Amino acid sequence: MIEGILIGLKTALSFQNLLMVMIGCFAGTIIGMLPGLGPMTAIALMIPITYGFDPATGLILMAGVYYGAVFGGSTSSILINAPGVPGTVATSFDGYPMAQQGKAGKALAIAAYSSFAGGTIAAIFLLIAAPSLSKVSLSFRSPDYFGLMILGLTAVSAFSSKGNFLKAMMMCVFGLMLASVGQDTLSDIPRFTFNTMNLSDGISFVLVVMATFAMSEALTIIIKGSDPTKAAKQISLTDLGSIKINKEETKQMAKTIPRSSVLGFIVGVLPGAGATIASFLAYGMERNFVNKEEKEKFGKGSVQGLSAPETANNAACSGAFVPLLTLGIPGSGTTAVMLGALLGFGIQPGPRLYETNPEIFWSVIMSMYIGMVVLLILNLPLIPYIARILAVPRTFLIPMILFFSVTGIYLMSFNNFDIFLMIGIAVIATILRLYDFPMPPLILAFVLGGLMEENLRRSLLISDGSWSFLWDRPLTLCIMIVIFGIISWQGYQSVVKK
């Protein structure tokens, strides 16, 4: 393991990769800060640029963007009470009241230190957990993988749908349908191409991500007539107050950070859970841990109330990489985008990545840590300047997002058809968004579609067409029981509870 860490450090600390981490953190912070635009949009906008680099550098850039976007989301939560990402909603409960009390600088510093500490502790857990789980997952067979993919889709649908499980499942099927367009991987038989050459290679992953996130988010802002930067015009973004934290506050954070980190990491590893659930759970847990006097302060600018969700959401981000790197199965929409990018580089994450591409495996883990250091030393002092991006009017913001989306596809294919297809999917996604159809299950299903079909093919061929493979192996059976539990719980919530 030590050797691996050194390989990772060597790759991550090269001049080019350090520069990429810095650019990634900086760009991610700016994009993540804009309400409505989260890490998925930030990463999606970066993908076409990363294809010009080697895989390790590209992934390092995206990891930087990911952490930067989460940090940026906290900034808008604290300053204007408009969380950039769902994972930072809980941050606004105490962060915004602190900012209203004239302690915006302090709130941002608490958020930054907590994120750093949470991310650091989780990175250590990741260092230990990932190689061990990689070895265990070598014993996984096709039925187990197929079951895990169904579990991932079901869990993401259950957690991301806010009570609209059926809508999320429809989005899963829609994502799988889009993934099935193009030639069959084994027989090369064209499917759903309608005799057009443009579809014979299938629909590009970048195209779907850009259309369903970057572009449709921009169109949703326009059609709803909302102005994400309106709140920023009502506060001073240049005078944020001191960023110093006193002894008492440090003491309070020292108690909160370890427990929120552990909770955040565990929740992050679970498929579908992610940063949002981790931050809410950590906030609730912290409220139960503190004394009565401190409990009264929750919601009014409590240091622990701000530190807990910030620690947990960053720890969850690291935790989400465990299933991605060890099983090749993303547990969230954001890691699904990362998986799509990895596949674009020709890398198949999974248990063998640890053996076949150790430099990528370790450099991603090490660059996550370096990214957090960069966020702390670069972004915190620069926040008063970066925060001005919140005041950029939507009349400039939206065309820029659309321009980057169209350019991204244009650079990849130099094909009008892809641009038109992207606009079409974006319009459909915008209508679906208006009626609360969640997009993360669609992306996760689109990314997993090919792998899912492959594993189902192997399982069915081995079992001679019988579906008994779903309960023949104890591990597959356990996974199926969990899936059944999630579906039953969702059914109970939507039908019986009513």
Partner 1 sequence: MKINSVKIISLLFFVLSAFYLYTAYQIQVFAFDENSAFNAKTFPIYLGYAGMFFAGLKIVLPDRKPIEVDPTHLEFKKTILLVTTMIIYGATILKVGFFLSTSLFLVFSYYFLGERRWKYILIFSFPFVAIFMYLLHGLLAVYLRDPLLKYIGIMG
CB of residue 179 vs partner 1: minimum separation in angstroms? 9
- # binding residues, partner 1 (CB under 8 A): 62
* Identity of the residue, 89 or 398, whose beta carbon is nearer to partner 1 in the bound complex: 398
Q: Nearest approach, Cβ of 199 to partner 1 (angstroms)?
A: 12
Please say which residue, 130 or 153, places its beta carbon nearer to partner 1. Answer: 153
Q: In whole angstroms, how close is the CB of 9 to partner 1 at the nearest point?
A: 26
Contact (Cβ atoms closer than 8 angstroms) between residue 375 and residue 317 = no
Does 19 contact partner 1 by CB under 8 A? no
Q: Yes or no: say if 20 and 52 are a contact pair by the CB < 8 Å rule.
A: no
Q: How far is CA 57 from CA 328, 361, 405, in A?
A: 19, 12, 22
Cα–Cα distance measured from residue 126 to residue 105, given in angstroms and rounded to the nearest whole number: 31
By CB under 8 A, residue 411 contacts partner 1: yes
Nearest CA-CA partner of 84 in 134, 33, 125, 121: 33
Q: Which of 45, 402, 470, 479 contacts partner 1 by CB under 8 A?
A: 402
Of residues 27-56, which lie at the interface with partner 1 (CB under 8 A)?
Answer: 49, 52
Please identify which residue in 5, 128, 223, 477 interacts with partner 1, judged by CB under 8 A. 223
Position 496 contacts partner 1 (CB under 8 A): no
Nearer to partner 1, 257 or 421 (CB): 421
Give which of 51, 30, 65, 58 is closest to 317, Cα–Cα: 65
In this structure, what token pair is assigned to residue 357? 């591409």
CB 210 within 8 A of CB 408: yes
Residue 487 is a binding residue for partner 1 (CB under 8 A): no
Listed as own residue / partner, the contacts of 487-496 with beta carbons closer than 8 Å and 24 or more positions apart are: 487/154, 489/158, 490/158, 490/165, 493/163, 493/165, 494/163, 494/165, 494/166
Footprint of partner 1 on 173-202 (CB under 8 A): 173-174, 176-177, 180, 184, 186-187, 189, 191-192
- Among positions 422-481, residues that touch partner 1 (CB under 8 A) are 423, 427, 430-432, 434-437, 452-453, 456-457, 460-461, 463-465
Q: How far is CA 342 from CA 58, 200, 255, in A?
A: 9, 22, 38
Compute the distance between CA of residue 186 and CA of residue 163 in angstroms, rounded to an integer: 38
Tokens of 179: 């993934």
Comparing CB distances to partner 1, the nearer of 191 and 300 is 191
Q: Are the C-beta atoms of 366 and 360 separated by less than 8 Å?
A: no
Residues making contact with partner 1 (CB under 8 A): 49, 52, 163-164, 166-167, 169-170, 173-174, 176-177, 180, 184, 186-187, 189, 191-192, 219, 222-225, 393-396, 398-400, 402-403, 406-407, 410-411, 414, 416, 419-420, 423, 427, 430-432, 434-437, 452-453, 456-457, 460-461, 463-465, 494-495, 498
